[in-house]
Amino acid sequence: MRSDPRIVAAVLGTLLLASESPANQVHAQVEGLTGTLVVVNKSVSTATIIDVATGRALATLPTGPGPHEVALTADGSLAVVTDYSPGSSLTIIDVPGRRVVRTVDLSQYARPHGIEFLPGDSLVAVTSEATQNLVIVNVREGVIRRAIGTQHRGSHMVGVVADGSRAWTGDMSDNTVTELDLRTGEYIRSFDVPQTPEAINVTPDGSEVWVGSNGTGRVSVLDPATGRVTTAAEGFGWPYRIRFTPDVRTVLLPDLRNEELRILDRATRTERARLAFAGEAPQGIIITPDGRHAFLALSGAARVAIIDIAAGTVAGYLPAGQTPDGIVYTTRVLTN
């Protein structure tokens, strides 16, 4: 029986795609998914602006040394990068203009790392790991408004409630989580948590603070009202970051050392999916406003994975710069 050449060609094409290495499978469009990413590239001290629909890098811009994290205004117009290693500055990027507009010198507040915008999109709260402070900076004016002492060593990441009234830092060296009043600029209290708390996030209403422990491979939940700490998930190598979907029903947890992404139901703390990224070093993660997709920076592969959250699958990839980590997303589409 003769083979249909069209079938043979289709089979050969499928086999060829399957045989490609992950590094070659760079971009796959996701129907209806558009917008713009800003990704920081740690080892080369740059930030890349990426068009999601096409996978095209629209610009690669210089930052300060060792950029790690990035925050974005609600309208997607301004990105703020923390220049962490070794640094003491913030790089401010005009995203539609695809240019660096200023660098904010944080002076003695060295090693800025975790960062969140406060309501109004003029002020950011940024940790100064070297000085045990959370620094409030007006990034539009380029000035420091105040510094709030955490009173604990290694304050690395920060979570902020939706109304901007409270913040919690993960204090890696002292194994604590510190609560700060952002309106009065006062230290409130600290809670003991499992060893080396790096990843941290807080529900919008402040009722739960989720913390990742590098020392124990555990993700815990702190109830600030009672001080009670309970275990949400275990068996991590390095629970690198914590992200909630906008409806706060789902939690996404990249595990850098085990090279996985776990997806959990927040209320029941049951695992819905687990995705493997062998050799790709998953790090920074951000979720789209509709809660349907996440973008996961793969530091070891110079690319970003597009995650279909409901399906628990990888929907595609986007190219990034070397060692991508901090990542933000806006639905805003930039004109060419």
What lies within 8 Å, CB to CB, of 31 at 6+ separation is none
- Indicate the DSSP class of residue 122: S
Query: Quick one: pLDDT at residue 18?
Result: 35
Q: How confident is the model at residue 15 (pLDDT cuts 50, 70, 90)?
A: very low
| Mean pLDDT on 184-213 | 98
Q: How confident is the model at residue 8 (pLDDT cuts 50, 70, 90)?
A: very low
Q: Binning pLDDT at 50, 70 and 90, where does residue 13 land?
A: very low
* Mean pLDDT on 92-114: 97
Tell me the helices (H) and strands (E) count for the chain, helix number first. Answer: 1, 28
- The pLDDT of residue 243 is 98
Residue 23 has pLDDT above 60, yes or no: no
Average pLDDT over residues 267-281: 98
Query: Computed over its alpha carbons, how large is the radius of gyration of the chain?
Result: 20
pLDDT category, 335, cuts 50, 70, 90?
confident
Closest CA to 327 of 282, 290, 291, 273: 282
Which is more confident, 30 or 219?
219
Beta bridge partners of 70: 81
In angstroms, the CA 103 to CA 101 distance is 7
Q: Residue 86, preceding bond cis, omega within 30 degrees?
A: yes
pLDDT given for residue 331 in this prediction: 98
Question: pLDDT value at position 27?
Answer: 67
> 200: pLDDT confidence band, cut at 50, 70 and 90?
very high
pLDDT of residue 1: 38
Class of domain 31-330: mainly beta
Q: Provide DSSP, 47-115.
A: EEEEETTT--EEEEEE-SSSEEEEEE-TTS-EEEEEE-TT--EEEEEETTTTEEEEEEE-TT--SEEEE
26 against 247, higher pLDDT? 247
Distance CA 152, CA 148 (A): 11
Residue 140 backbone dihedrals phi, psi, to 5 degrees: -80, -35
Cβ pair 33, 54 in contact under 8 A? no
**Can you name the residues that pair with 9 across neighbouring β-strands?**
none
